[in-house]
Amino acid sequence: MAAPVSPYRVKEKSGWAIADPHCVRRRVMVCVVVLCCVFSALLARLWYLQVVRGASYLMQAKVNSLKNVPLSAPRGLVFDRHGSLVNGKLPRSATVLATSRASHSVALLPAALPSLRRDPEGRRKILQTLGFLIHTTPAEIEAQLEDAARRGGRLYDPVRVGGEVDLETITRVEENKWRLRSPGLGSAVLVTDDISRHYPAGAMAAHVLGYTGIVNERDIEKAKRNRDEPGTRSLAYDDIIGKSGIERQFDRLLAGVRGSEQYEVDARGRPLRPVGEIREKPGHTLVLSIDAKLQRAAESALDAARNSGAAAAIDPRNGEVLALASRPTFDSNIFSLKKKDFQKRWLAINTNAKKPLINRAVTSAFPPGSTFKMMTAAAGLQQGTTRTGTTHVCNGAYYLGRARFGCWKTHGAGIDIYDAMAQSCDVYFYQRALKMGDPEGTGPTYLAKIARQFGLGEPVGIDLPVDDRRTQGLMPDPAWRRRFHARRPQLAHWYPGNTLNMSIGQGDVTATPLQMALATGAVANGGTLWQPRLMREIRNATTDKVIRRGTSRSRSVGIQDRYLSIVRAGMRQVITKGTARAPFADMTHVAVAGKTGSAEDDANGTAHAWFVCFAPYDPAGRVKPRIAIAVIIENAGHGSENAAPVAKKILEAAFPAPKSSAAKTVRR
């Protein structure tokens, strides 16, 4: 069979010849066009990359060749109320409550560690060596690496695995860095400069200041959800944030802005040389309303008390919180300790049956006992059902039908409102409460309304990160009882006995020490209830310019001052000839007015000891009270014996006795 003949060439005598030159020419032209298109596309792409996107890719190349090592910013200083500048200078009386100090940490670069899948043995050796040097275990280090990854840490982000390390540990790590190097990846361990939070006064004001700690996944997720809300701080995987107290409430202002050191790195990410630095910006300075001298006195007095307790002191002129103490307490510095030391201290706190982390002054509500009689007296006077000339006989008990409602002692005949306040006569207040209206309806409803006007049963609104529901206590009335016992009709009715219990601060009535301090302040200042506040001012740490000042809202309690003056006079007699005469007998240089209280505790046979007071007292009203105090000692018995001495120590710090023997009453 003959071979096929190509249509493009034929065999001639002289050799091969093109049979169809036009077809070949077309083919050549097509190839030329295709090649031109290809080279044109390549040239266009090259022009796009070099000219259009050249600057962008150059920037990316620089970024890839540079590595930022973050520098922690020092958190802002926290001062007591004397930390405000005077003529541009810090007064000597200023007390630093929180500051930052330099420290060192050991960190790991995850990218420089051998792979867990490819070289598990090499990884194990490095982690085992490092664990030995910094007194931890490989498992704990792996857990920290995994935790950092969950929080958003990247491969080249250093992960702190040993905080607050000492010079000896740093020396050991540096001497053994050759053991912590993996082939081709460089050293995986860094010794970094760090900043830790420090509280110079230790446990003082711990419940106010709170503490700091590293972010967790929940913190980061919350920040992402709330990123559009004003004041929300953007969080990185290793940020230190406020976890409670003032540290948390003002975290964004205290945190500052991180800086960074910039290094040129090779293709494997190993640092070659430093190329620049972005300076960190310290957090703002926060000045609190707390008076360190009064705070120290309150805590020292609570330490000497027989049981757990709390004290709150406010300025009745503006609502500033002067002292806020709770016992037992904790030292906020433990949260900056090395992990091993921290775990021991944390276990002791967390297993303490008395719950040291609870801020009893703000969130623990107790029956106010006889301190509530301030409100019962004011309500009756305002309503007109109680008058100064009204007297009762106290035989040690009041009988409502067959039910006996006791008094703590027999006071006899002729007990008026002043005697009833001074001697804390329950029988007097039982009978005055029954006169306010129907004891099963309008009477207790009116008394509860007045008590709420004094702030009981309502959130206090203090600038601390606490749930408002935990600060409001309970002010019951017939309507509340019907709602609360809606599914138990047999308990839903309000009886006259409930009214009697409420009139002396028992039954379902509860209040926090801060609420009672605010209510006492309202009695003292003529009827103004202030919203409490801790923040006095915030100023820029660099320029010292004040960027925000604390302000408080106030409202009237709805009681005329002429009636409150009667309550104040009765409270003064508590000190001069009543239940608190003994503890204040030697305090003659300042006039104090107060009220003792003993609140029954159903869960314990011993009553809670209460005491509230204000000073200075001036019957003419020319001298304005400067402090109102509430103290509770849990299950300690009589307020005069256990709570009043604590308040006295605070008053002695606020009004030091004159050095001369002829002490005079404070009139300024």
Mean pLDDT calculated for residue range 318-333: 95
Give 667's pLDDT tier (boundaries 50, 70, 90).
very low
Give 30's pLDDT tier (boundaries 50, 70, 90).
confident
Indicate the pTM of the whole model: 0.84
The predicted pLDDT at position 198 comes to: 93
Mean pLDDT of the chain: 87
The answer to whether residue 61 scores a pLDDT higher than 80 is no
Length of the chain as a residue count: 668
Percent of the chain scoring above 70 in pLDDT: 90
Query: Which has the higher per-residue pLDDT, 88 or 3?
Result: 88
Query: Which has the higher per-residue pLDDT, 534 or 240?
Result: 534
Query: Which has the higher per-residue pLDDT, 6 or 603?
Result: 603
Give 314's pLDDT tier (boundaries 50, 70, 90).
very high
The predicted pLDDT at position 109 comes to: 78
Mean pLDDT calculated for residue range 603-625: 92
Mean pLDDT calculated for residue range 422-440: 95
Q: How many CA atoms lie within 13 A of 638 on its CB side?
A: 11
**Which of these ranges, 6-15, 215-224, 486-495, has the smallest mean pLDDT?**
6-15
Query: Which has the higher per-residue pLDDT, 415 or 267?
Result: 415
| For the ranges 3-17, 161-175, 221-235, 598-612, the one whose mean pLDDT is highest | 598-612
Give 244's pLDDT tier (boundaries 50, 70, 90).
very high
The predicted pLDDT at position 42 comes to: 85
CA–CA separation, 163 vs 166, rounded Å?
Answer: 9
Give 59's pLDDT tier (boundaries 50, 70, 90).
low
CA–CA separation, 146 vs 139, rounded Å?
Answer: 11
Write out pLDDT tens, residues 163-197. Answer: 777 788 888 888 887 777 776 556 778 787 778 89
The answer to whether residue 269 scores a pLDDT higher than 70 is no
Residue 141: name the closest of 118, 123, 157, 154 by CA: 123
The runs of H, that is alpha helices, within 151-229 are: 167-175, 206-209, 217-225
Mean pLDDT calculated for residue range 53-80: 72
Residue 665: name the closest of 631, 633, 619 by CA: 619
CA–CA separation, 206 vs 7, rounded Å?
Answer: 100
| Residue 142 dihedral angles phi and psi, to the nearest 5° | -60, -40
CB 388 within 8 A of CB 428: no
The answer to whether residue 540 scores a pLDDT higher than 70 is yes
Write out pLDDT tens, residues 376-424. Answer: 999 999 999 999 999 999 999 999 989 999 999 999 999 999 999 999 9
The predicted pLDDT at position 663 comes to: 47
The predicted pLDDT at position 376 comes to: 97
CA–CA separation, 167 vs 190, rounded Å?
Answer: 14
The predicted pLDDT at position 668 comes to: 39
The answer to whether residue 54 scores a pLDDT higher than 90 is no
CA–CA separation, 415 vs 389, rounded Å?
Answer: 9
Retrieve residue 289's tokens: 């309303």
Sorted by sequence, the CB contacts under 8 Å of residue 542 that are 6+ apart come out as 281, 282
CA–CA separation, 515 vs 361, rounded Å?
Answer: 9
The predicted pLDDT at position 268 comes to: 54
CA–CA separation, 397 vs 408, rounded Å?
Answer: 8
The answer to whether residue 159 scores a pLDDT higher than 50 is yes
Mean pLDDT calculated for residue range 596-621: 91
Query: Which has the higher per-residue pLDDT, 141 or 385?
Result: 385
Mean pLDDT calculated for residue range 265-274: 61
**Which of these ranges, 202-206, 461-465, 663-667, has the smallest mean pLDDT?**
663-667
CB 136 within 8 A of CB 165: no
β-pairing, 285-288 vs 78-79, is parallel
The answer to whether residue 110 scores a pLDDT higher than 90 is no
The predicted pLDDT at position 416 comes to: 96
The answer to whether residue 359 scores a pLDDT higher than 90 is yes
Mean pLDDT calculated for residue range 102-126: 82
The answer to whether residue 55 scores a pLDDT higher than 70 is no
The answer to whether residue 495 scores a pLDDT higher than 70 is yes
Write out pLDDT tens, residues 515-529. Answer: 999 999 999 999 999
| For the ranges 115-129, 333-347, 629-643, the one whose mean pLDDT is highest | 629-643
